[in-house]
Each structure stands twice: as C-alpha cells, then as structure tokens.
Amino acid sequence: MERSLTLLLMFITLATIHIVQAQDQQGFISLDCGLPATERSPYDEPKTGLRFYSDEKFIQSGKTGRVRVNPDEYLKPYQTLRYFPDGIRNCYNLNIEKGRKHLIRAFFSYRNYDGLDINPTFDLYLGPNMWTTIDLQIQVNGTRAEILHIPTSNSLQICLVKTGTTTPLISTLEIRPMGNDTYITKSGSLNLFGRIYLRDSDKYIRYPSDIYDRVWTSYFMKEWTQISTTLEVSNSNKYVPPKDVLATAATPTNSSAPLTIQWRSSNVNDQYYLYVHFAEIQELQTNSTREFNVVWDGETSDPIIPTKFNIDTIYRRFPSTCKGGECNFQLRRTNRSILPPLLNALEVYTVTEFPQSETNEKDVIAVQNIKATYEISKISWQGDPCVPQQFMWDGLNCSNTDMATPPRITYLNLSSSGITGTIAAGIKNLTQLKILDLSNNNLTGEVPEFLGDMTSLVFINISWNDLNGSIPEALRRKGLNLFHQGNPRLCLSGSCLQPKPKPFPVAIVASVASVAIIIVVLVLLFVFRKKRPATVGALKGPPPSISPAVNVTYANSSVSLIQTNKRRFTYSEVTNMTNNFQRVVGEGGFSIVYHGTLNGYEQVAVKVLSQSSTQGYKQFKAEVDLLMRVHHANLVSLVGYCGEGDHLALIYEFVPNGDLRQHLSGKGGISVFSWGFRLQIAVEAALGLEYLHSGCIPPIIHRDVKTTNILLGEQFKAKLADFGLSRSFPVGGESHVSTVIAGTPGYLDPEYYRTSRLTEKSDVYSFGIVLLEMITNEPVIGQGRAKIHITHWVGFELNSGDISSIMDPNLQGDYDSHSAWRALELAMSCANPSSARRPSMSRVVVKLKECLVSENSRMSRGMDSHSSAEVSMIIDTEMFPMAR
C-alpha cells in the first residue's frame, strides 16, 4: 500500500528565477593550478567561456607540472597541475563572501606528470575539517570533489594533506556563489554524489548553459526510452537547471514498469538529499494523462503530474538513509495514468558534517597580518592556524575547547625567526595571547604601549634585538614576566638620555683603573694555566664552552665517572635559572623538578637530586649516560647538568603541557583528549620507545614506561621522559639482562618480576598498560573494582562484547569503533603475560598508525562519490576535462 510523503515534507516548489552573479561570472573563482602567471593569465577557456587565472597568488607553496599522457586531449585548464613535495599540509587561501552558499569544486589528474607512474593518494581538507580522500590509484583517469558549503568566515582554506609517501596534486580549483534559498539542509554541507540528466549521450552540460556552472553528466539505461523536444522548456524556479537538461527525459520502455535508479552505499549511515527535476515535454492527447508517485526510502509521495514545458522540482527538507546501504529511487505510474512516468534530471548529495570550528576570525586576521608584516614564509603557516592540532602552525599554541567553540591563539613564538622592523601592531589584536616571544631577532624601534594594555599577557621576551627608548610603565605590572636584555639602547625607566661626559680627571682615573683590571685578569689566567692539573675534576673543570668532556664525581659513591659533552652548569647558575628554586613542577622518589629559565628566555626543567640519596645518584648517572647518546623527537632532550660536590642536577628542555595522565584525568581543568588525539600521542610515544629498542646500539630498555612519564610538548607532541631506570643490553647479542627488579607497580612486566630477566618486551608490556589507560581512562590498580588490575578488568568486560563498556565515557561515543577494537586488541596483546606472545615496538607502531588512519578517515567515509559506493549512475569524471 502506498504511503504519503507528507510527513517528510516532499513538495513541488515553483519560484521566480534567480539569475544572480551568473552570466558575467561575477563572484566566480576559476584557478588553473600550476599555470605560470606569465603564461597568458587570465585566459578564456574556449568551450565554456570560463575565465581561468593562474593559482600563483592564492598559495605560497608547491611546484608546477604538466600532464604527459595524451596532453592534447585535455582542455587547457587540465593540462597543468600543482604538486606539493614539501610539507604535510599545503593550502589555498581564497577570499569569499561569508555566510553565502558556495559550490566548491576541485579536479585532480595525475597523468604521469613526473614520469614516475605512481598515482598518489592524499586527503582534502576544507578549513580545519577533513572533506574527502583523493585516491588516484583507483581513479586513474582523474577525479573531482564537489561540495555545497556555507563558509563561516570571509577566508576559505582548501588544503591538500599528505597521508603517505605519494605527493598530493591538484589540476583546477573552482568556486561558484549560489543562492542561499536553495539546497537547504537541516545541518552540514552537501557533498556531491551524482548530478545526472537523462539522455543517451556522452556530453556533459555546464556553464554557460548552467548559470551556477554545475556539471551535469548524461546517464541512460537500455530499459528506458528517450523523449525530447525542440521547444523551449521554462526553467523558472530557484534551482534553475539548464534548459538543455530539461529538453530530454527518460521513460520506461515497458509502460507498466517503474523507472528505477539504484546504487549501493558502502556506509549504511550515509544521509542523502535528493533533488528531482520534471518537465512534461510531450504534446499529450486529450485523453492521455501522465501521473506517478515518487518512491524513496520506503515512502511514497502524493501523485505528481509534471507541468507542461515548465520545471517542477521536488526535494526533502530532511535527509534520509538507505536501508542496509541499498538505495532505490523509483517513479511508479498511478492507476489513473495512461502514460509511464518521466524523469528529466536528478541530483543526489550526501551530508557532510564539519564539526571542528575554525580559529576565531579576529585571531586569524591578526596572525595573517603579522605573517605579512614580517614576510614569514614557513611552510607550516598555511591553513587554519590552530586546528586540527596536528597541523597547528609552528610557534603557536591555542586554547583547547570543545570543537564547537572557535580556538583562540594564546602563544606566539617568533624567536630566532630573522624578522626585522618594529614590533607588529597586529599583535595587539591577539586579545587572548598569554606568551609572546620575539627574542633573538633584528627588531628595532620602541617597545609599543599596546603590549601593556594586553592584560592576558603573562610572559614577554624581547631579548637580543635592537630596540630603543624606554619600557612602558604598564609593562612593569605585577604578574608579567618581561625579559629584555640584549637591547643596549633600551632603558628600564626614566630618561633615556646618555649621561654627560665626566670631567677630565675622572676619565683618566677610570682609564687607569680599567687597564689595571685587565693586567690583573691576565696574570691570574697565566697562573691558573700553569697550575691546572692534567686530569680535570668535578670542581676544577674548564669553562663549559671549552671542554667537550667532563668527569663528574659524587662524594658519597664509588660509582664510575660520567662522561658527557653536554653543558656543565655551576650550582650558582642552577640557583639563578630556577629563581632560587621557586617553582616546583614535579617530584620523584629521589628528586624535585623545578621550572627554570636559561639565557633569560629559554624555558628548562631542572631535576635536582636529593643529596642523601645514593640510589638517586645511580639513576642520575644512568640518565646522563643514556641521554648523551640518544636523540629523537619523541624523547625529552638533555640541555646540561650540574655536578658540583653534593649538588647534582639535570637540566632538560621544558615540556609545557604536562603529562599524559593529567590530560586523561582532566585534572586542574586540563582538557580530556579526543580518541584521534590519543591515538596520535600513542603513535608518538611508541616511536620514541621503538627508537630505544631498534635505533640504539646497544638497544636500551626504558623500564619505567607509564602515563606520567609521557610528557606533552608544544603542539602536544609526546615525549618519553625519566630514564633513571633505563638499561642497555650488554654487547654480545644477549637477548636479555639479569637485573634487580625495578619499575612501577601495575606497569611492571610480571614475567620480568618472576625471573629478573629483562628484555625489550618488558617495555612492551608497560606500553600495553599505558594504551589500556588511554582507551579506558581507568586506574591501573583499581581498589574499588572486582578486578583490581586493569588487564583483568578489561578481560572481564570483553566477555560482554560491548566495547562501549570499556571505552572512556568522556569520549561520549565519538570514535571509530573499528580503530577502537584494533587498539584494544593491540593493548591486550602487548600486556600478554608471556613475553614471547607480545609484539615488538616496531609492530606496535605499524598497528597504531593503522588505527589512526581508520579514525582520521571516519568522517570522510562515503564522501567521495567515486570511491565510496558502487553506483549505477557513477559520474564519468574523465568526461568534462576532455576536449571533445
């Protein structure tokens, strides 16, 4: 029995024609990517009349290429391309009208431009959000991405993101303004699935026939009969499909049969919007009638009678899904109808949600102005400054809020960037900025008053420039740390006038005194050199800038000496850099960690050893010995050390964003990371551990892997820390070492605990526990649980087969279940009681990267109409760029 589609608000709309910004291409952006600006830009493409421009002014990176395979068959805009061998994210920046719906279309064709015959795969982003994956290994003849989208700012970034070893590329980029009263959605943007007109032809229709330059592809089936007219068909409604599209239609050859279009979606959760265009284009006899119902998603519309030589468009206000991924669209003749149903054209779109808000627009404008002022050309300074976090601009940090809230820039570090000129006025528009570092540049002029008005600032470093004048009084307020040394013409307070020359006698005395001091210094240096022993001890070493090797002894220990080429600091220097040990940032069993500042601007962490701890000294020595010979982006690096008598300290790079445990718990208002971000951190921590196991000779075992020893640096890059318990394998190829048991309860490998035989698989076990913490946010030892240890608790919960009972509830179900299951299986494999059944860290890295790819592609599944579904009306993307 047929049911009405009234509840779905499917209706026929007739409206006045909207010819806005149409025939004159007003508002159109047509970029021929890779076309040199000197090579006749702009030019009018002869087949469409579209005016194409070189893309050089819209992107700061990339190189140009030309197709090699059948280049003469391609229309001019598709003969060149821009490719991006450098950087991860490369972005176009376009000025458009905020709040207005736009058709955004990009075309991609490899055609062996580089002679390597390797078709690339990469991701396409719209601002900070994943749009779709471009896979030219499948679409070897080229593909296009097209979306109807309303920008939330006047600047639109379209970014190509490298996801593997192949090089992203783009052939054309086109933006077309649309009317806001068309293609209205409940939420999200509309990704093109298919736009067809029913004609037995191989031609496509676009501008100038379509005033919005939508591309219509012909589609026809053998079960249909084509009808056509030479008379003009009115297209006077707000969708304005081309009159050429409406001049033909299809009807079922069997007049009793329905007209059916079917396709299969690979994602059963895909939501569809359909726009169906009808026009009666036959002269009907007096007793002839054409009446039919539209059947979609199991629902049947009220009867429809197409209007003679005039467009009717029906659509839904709300999206629908296809049951089981099987999509079936039908037109069925009613019992009263003499003639079969008729269809002229059909548009199908899938809903694409873009949940991540762009960075606050005022902050974006401000940082873009700063970029322009200082002519900064960093390849990472493209696209949205703050999000997604893995692509955050170098030298920036931003507030971490929910995805619906625009991030704010809180940290700007342009230290040692070679910038010149005065302090940029655009900085004052970063109203949430807390830390500003402009040190070690060539800035001139006065320190501006506006810095004192930025009440959010707590740290300013303008050291080692050539600034002059006096420091504004407002910058001496309480709570603001201002570093300004290295600016000889900068005055602290009062007048900046140079003092008048001293009277003659005073000048003479001063000169004589200076000469005397120089003579005394030279004599002392000569005496010191004569008396210096051949072996340098802990208290009589040469200055740190001279000696590449220093032996450090410890008064209460017989442990062998430490050999290091890192900088050696005096205890007085350690006291000064920590401001007399004012700020504690961490505590361990044998030490306290303080915040310090080196050279007036470089932040460091200073671990000071308890003077009464012999065991602590052993860890101190082990940590120095290890960090002297390792260097990796995911290991905390050592800046130097202090070994002055009983005063022992290690000076590390400062890692500003705390440890992983803090973020998982949300302690102190710190954000709880998303699933994708947790996987990214897991990958980075695993890479650090893999380096210790596989990249060091001899291999190194960390022995204390846990969430509190995974620190998060700028842009939240994960770094392994605390190597006091680490051990190296002995030379000779042994597979294990025997050692006194050490580690943290809960993370300690049970096999190592039983046998005292330490292997790299002991670290794998600990990492498995860390991974379980990241998945569940449960304590490793839970006294309130029936199953106290986290592995037992997870094993018990796995019996239910419901992963939601295991995943951290703070994630609120926002994760790819496939990647979650794989990560959970990996974690349990790492934490297997038998070391022989645990994977290597190299294998762990591979598996985690696969999980991350799965999660990152979650939002894009089904977005690409050419790869996400097997569809009988698939678009021939090779058609519209071809010159035929």
Instruction: Report the CATH number that the domain containing residue 124 is assigned in CATH.
Output: 2.60.120.430
Q: Which amino acid is at 356?
A: Q
Q: Which of 305-309, 409-413, 664-668, 780-784 has the lowest mean pLDDT?
A: 664-668
Give the list of residues 6+ apart from residue 775 with CB closer than 8 angstroms, or none: 678, 806, 807, 808, 820, 823, 824, 827
pTM attached to this predicted model:
0.59
Could you list the beta-strand ranges (E) of 447-547.
459-461, 466-470, 481-483, 489-491
Q: Which of 672-676, 785-789, 826-830 has the lowest mean pLDDT?
A: 672-676
Q: Which residues of 759-795 are buried (b: 16+ CB within 10 A; e: fewer)?
A: bbbbbbbbbbbbbbbbbbbbbbebeeeeeebbbebbe
Query: To 5 degrees, how large is the angle CA 25–CA 26–CA 30?
Result: 55
Q: Which of 325-329, 621-625, 824-828 has the lowest mean pLDDT?
A: 621-625
Q: 384, 704, 722, 808: which is the annotated catalytic residue?
A: 704
Count H helices and E strands in the chain, helices first: 13, 50
What is the per-residue pLDDT across 400-433, written as a single tens digit (0 to 9) for each? 768 889 999 999 999 888 899 999 999 999 999 9
Instruction: Among 333, 354, 375, identify where a domain stops.
Output: 354
Give the list of residues 6+ apart from residue 635 with CB closer than 8 angstroms, or none: 627, 688, 691, 692, 719, 720, 721
Residues 434 and 562 in one domain: no
Query: Is the pLDDT reported for residue 361 higher than 80?
Result: yes
**Active-site residue, 72 included:** no
Residues 139 and 90 in one domain: yes
Residues 543 and 616 in one domain: yes
Predicted local distance difference test score (pLDDT) of residue 154: 93
| CATH number for the domain harbouring residue 289 | 2.60.120
Q: What is the mean pLDDT of residues 458-472?
A: 91
What is the per-residue pLDDT across 602-640, written as a single tens digit (0 to 9) for each? 889 998 887 655 555 666 776 776 776 678 889 988 888
Residues 626 and 753 in one domain: no
Per-residue pLDDT band at 14 (split at 50, 70, 90): very low
Predicted local distance difference test score (pLDDT) of residue 122: 96
Per-residue pLDDT band at 730 (split at 50, 70, 90): low
Please count the structural domains in the chain.
Answer: 5
Query: Is the pLDDT reported for residue 4 higher than 60?
Result: no
Query: Is the pLDDT reported for residue 61 higher than 80?
Result: yes
> Closest by alpha carbon to 22, among 234, 237, 208?
208
Q: What is the mean pLDDT of residues 762-787?
A: 93
Query: Is the pLDDT reported for residue 848 higher than 80?
Result: yes
CA torsion sign, 505 to 507 to 510 to 514?
Answer: negative
For residue 195, CA distances in Å to 9, 10, 183, 874 come to 22, 19, 13, 9
285: in domain = yes
The arrangement of strands across the sheet holding 259-265 comes to 299-300, 292-296, 326-333, 259-265, 869-871
Residues 400 and 257 in one domain: no
For 249-318, the three-class secondary structure string (H helix, E strand, C coil) is EEEECCCCCCEEEEEEECCCCCCEEEEEEECECCCCCCCCCECEEEEECCEECCCECCCECECEEEECCC
| CATH number for the domain harbouring residue 514 | 3.30.200.20
Tokens 């030219």 label which residue?
136
Instruction: Among 180, 209, 231, identify where a domain stops.
Output: 180
127: in domain = yes
Query: Is the pLDDT reported for residue 225 higher than 60?
Result: yes
Predicted local distance difference test score (pLDDT) of residue 872: 32
392: in domain = yes
- Cross-strand bridge partners of residue 445: 467
Predicted local distance difference test score (pLDDT) of residue 714: 76
Tokens 């770094």 label which residue?
719
Phi, psi torsion values for 22, nearest 5 degrees: -115, -85
499: in domain = no
187: in domain = no
Most confident of 692-696, 773-777, 850-854, 873-877: 773-777
> Closest by alpha carbon to 417, among 392, 442, 383, 444?
442
Q: Annotated binding site for ATP: which residue ranges? A: 607
Q: Annotated binding site: which residue ranges? A: 607
Q: Are the beta carbons of 725 and 588 closer than 8 angstroms? A: no
Residues 787 and 874 in one domain: yes
Q: Are the beta carbons of 102 and 20 closer than 8 angstroms? A: no
What is the per-residue pLDDT across 269-323, written as a single tens digit (0 to 9) for each? 899 999 999 999 999 988 889 999 999 988 899 999 999 999 999 998 899 999 8
Residues 677 and 588 in one domain: no
Instruction: Among 305, 331, 354, identify where a domain stops.
Output: 354
Residues 289 and 374 in one domain: no
Q: Which amino acid is at 28?
A: F
Q: How far apart are the first and last CA of the chain?
A: 48
666: in domain = yes
666 CA to centre of own chain: 22
Residues 120 and 215 in one domain: no
Q: What is the mean pLDDT of the chain?
A: 82
Per-residue pLDDT band at 119 (split at 50, 70, 90): very high
Q: How many residues does the chain have?
A: 884
Query: What is the percent of the chain with per-residue pLDDT over 70, rounded to a whole number?
Result: 81
Tokens 């982006």 label which residue?
633
516: in domain = yes
Domain limits for position 80 = 29-180
For residue 777, CA distances in Å to 723, 773, 787 come to 25, 5, 15
| CATH number for the domain harbouring residue 413 | 3.80.10.10
Per-residue pLDDT band at 508 (split at 50, 70, 90): very low
Q: How far apart are CA 691 and CA 661, in angstroms?
A: 23
Q: Are the beta carbons of 698 and 596 closer than 8 angstroms? A: no
Predicted local distance difference test score (pLDDT) of residue 531: 39
> Closest by alpha carbon to 879, among 14, 48, 142?
142
Predicted local distance difference test score (pLDDT) of residue 667: 65
Per-residue pLDDT band at 737 (split at 50, 70, 90): low
185: in domain = no
Residues 239 and 295 in one domain: yes
CA torsion sign, 775 to 777 to 780 to 786?
Answer: negative
Residues 132 and 220 in one domain: no
SS3 content of the chain, % helix, strand, coil (to 5): 25, 30, 50
For residue 837, CA distances in Å to 734, 743, 826, 831 come to 19, 21, 11, 9
What is the per-residue pLDDT across 517-546, written as a single tens digit (0 to 9) for each? 444 444 444 444 443 333 223 222 322 222
Predicted local distance difference test score (pLDDT) of residue 9: 29
C-beta atoms surrounding 99 within 10 Å: 11
Residues 578 and 479 in one domain: no
Q: Which amino acid is at 735?
A: S
